[in-house]
Structure 1
């Protein structure tokens, strides 16, 4: 059950992170990364790894976008 919830949170975060890759929307990653951290925390209660892996991917995409945009753009 926790894995399914973690995957759902990660899927929402991934869609939002892909949307935030558009120019001038990089600031949205400041909200997406904590959402993915929440999903990662929920995934820690599960014995399966897929939810955790998805949320780690979302965190990596968000951090990469923040680095490329200088933290704002």
Structure 2
């Protein structure tokens, strides 16, 4: 059950992160980070690690985008 919750949180975050790759929308990644981190924590506590791994991939995309934009843009 925890992995399913983490996967759903990862999907919601992905919906926020994908449009945030457009220039000047990078600030939306900051809105997605708490959701992603919550998904990682819940996924870590569950038996299956699929939800956690999905959240980690979304986190990686968000961090790369933030680093390319200087953390804000």
Band the TM-score falls in, shorter-chain normalisation: over 0.9
Provide the rounded CA distance (Å) in 2 between the counterparts of 1:8 and 1:30: 18
Is the CA contact 1:26–1:66 (under 8 Å) kept in the aligned structure 2? yes
- Coordinate RMSD, CA, aligned: 0.8
Is the CA contact 1:33–1:58 (under 8 Å) kept in the aligned structure 2? no
User: Which of structure 1's runs of 4+ aligned residues deviate more than 6 A?
Assistant: none
Unmatched 5+ residue regions in structure 2?
none
1:22-37 to 2 correspondences below 5 Å: 22-37=22-37
The normalised TM-score by structure 2 is 0.94
Q: How many residues are matched?
A: 73
Is the CA contact 1:39–1:55 (under 8 Å) kept in the aligned structure 2? yes
Unmatched 5+ residue regions in structure 1?
none
Match of 2:42 in 1: 42
The normalised TM-score by structure 1 is 0.94
1:1-73 to 2 correspondences below 5 Å: 1-73=1-73
Q: Secondary structure at the match of 1:48?
A: coil
1:11 CA drift (Å) = 0.7
Q: Secondary structure at the match of 1:16?
A: helix
